[in-house]
């Protein structure tokens, strides 16, 4: 039985022992930033991250401001370039060719259609801190972890999925006694969200690390897995016909949700006692009573995502 699954405490009116530990993204990111400081102290110059803002989207503006502030506080250079969206393609190409620029981030949405996907592929792979280049995405889904046979340079992973992985490592959901790449073996995880930006990549990452993952969206449930005994090198996907949260949640050691909007809530009564819950939506997908069931709860992940972005920048600058 998972060490995260236990009976709920029976409390009296005079003695209630909390069973849930709420872990903030700030707490997790502090440790990750300390590791980054060790990595950058011997560099001859501060790595430069250039951000492109080409829309009036409020979320993009906040993200850009937050990126700049966090980067500068932690020993990185950041330059925000506000441009007209019709000029963005040329400006990205210029930044690709500028040897002083170590990393590039583009704040989406811009056009809100396939043209945004085209722009993602314009960013030079050597400067793609977001991990959105086709080669990086291919490696992620194929469970290829390095860019070269000598394993000297890691493949970049998209920031938000990698942030969730780092949180799970911090919470010791990953079993470090197992070999690297298999450390989620025995875990059952539900990911609620199957977007191409976060949900599907996250399910693939977790399954490639050995978990059995139920990927849930509004239409259906899919299972991501490397098969019985982790016999496959990379994950495969199967349809769970007729399944919904009612079948997935009671089986899951970990539940990760990122549904946009304030209407969706994960049904607390379906959660397994001692579950680990992580919310990556800007809205709270879990009701307050989740703390009566969960053993670990992470209500937001924003600052961890920024930390991972800067980690990717460090990889690009080497």
pLDDT for the residue 12: 43
What are the pLDDT digits (tens) for 120-129? 999 999 999 9
pLDDT for the residue 68: 95
What is the distance between the alpha carbons of residues 81 and 93, in angstroms, rounded to a whole number?
Answer: 13
pLDDT for the residue 307: 93
pLDDT for the residue 37: 85
What are the pLDDT digits (tens) for 94-152? 999 999 999 999 999 899 888 999 999 999 999 999 999 999 999 999 999 999 999 98
Q: 3-class SS at 123?
A: coil
pLDDT for the residue 140: 96
Answer whether 147's CB lies under 8 Å from 154's CB: yes
Rounded to two decimals, what is the model's pTM?
A: 0.90
Q: CATH number of 43-141+312-317: 3.40.50.10860, 3.40.50.300, 3.40.50.970, 3.30.390.50?
A: 3.40.50.10860
Percent of the chain past pLDDT 70, that is, above it, reads 95
Homologous superfamily of 161-304 = NAD(P)-binding Rossmann-like Domain (3.40.50.720)
- CATH 3.40.50.10860 region(s) of the chain? 43-141+312-317
pLDDT for the residue 112: 84
Question: In 3D, which of 138, 130, 197, 210 has the Cα closest to residue 168?
Answer: 210
**Residue 72 C-alpha from the chain's centroid:** 22
The residues pairing with 189 across neighbouring beta strands, listed in sequence order, are 213, 254
Q: 3-class SS at 269?
A: helix
- Tokens representing residue 249 in the block: 């949640």
- CATH 3.40.50.720 region(s) of the chain? 161-304
Residues annotated as catalytic are: 159
């Amino acid at each position: 039985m998972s060490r995260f699954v236990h009976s709920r405490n029976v409390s009296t009116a005079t003695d209630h022992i909390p069973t849930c530990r709420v872990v903030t993204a700030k707490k997790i990111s502090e440790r990750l930033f300390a590791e980054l400081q060790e990595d950058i102290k011997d560099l001859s110059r501060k790595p430069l991250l250039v951000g492109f803002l080409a829309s009036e989207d409020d979320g993009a503006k906040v993200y850009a401001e937050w990126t700049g502030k966090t980067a500068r506080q932690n020993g990185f250079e950041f330059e925000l370039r506000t441009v007209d969206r019709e000029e963005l393609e040329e400006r990205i190409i210029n930044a690709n060719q500028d040897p002083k620029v170590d990393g590039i981030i583009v704040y989406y949405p811009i056009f809100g259609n396939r043209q945004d996907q085209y722009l993602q592929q314009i960013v030079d792979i050597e400067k793609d801190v977001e991990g959105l280049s086709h080669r990086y995405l291919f490696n992620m889904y194929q469970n290829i972890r390095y860019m070269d046979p000598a394993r000297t340079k890691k493949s970049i992973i998209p920031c938000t999925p990698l942030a969730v992985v780092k949180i799970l490592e911090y919470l010791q959901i990953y079993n470090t006694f197992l070999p690297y790449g298999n450390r989620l073996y025995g875990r059952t995880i539900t990911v609620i969200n199957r977007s191409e930006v976060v949900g599907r990549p996250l399910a693939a990452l977790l399954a490639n690390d050995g978990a059995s993952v139920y990927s849930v969206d509004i239409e259906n449930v899919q299972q991501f897995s490397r098969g019985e005994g982790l016999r496959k090198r990379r994950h495969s996907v199967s349809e769970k016909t007729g399944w919904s949260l009612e079948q997935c949640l009671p089986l899951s050691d970990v539940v990760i949700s990122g549904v946009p909007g304030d209407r969706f809530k994960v049904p607390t009564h379906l959660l397994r006692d001692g579950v680990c819950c992580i919310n990556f939506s800007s809205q709270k997908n879990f009701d307050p009573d989740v703390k009566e069931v969960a053993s670990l709860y992470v209500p937001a992940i924003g600052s961890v995502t920024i930390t991972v972005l800067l980690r990717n920048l460090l990889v690009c600058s080497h």
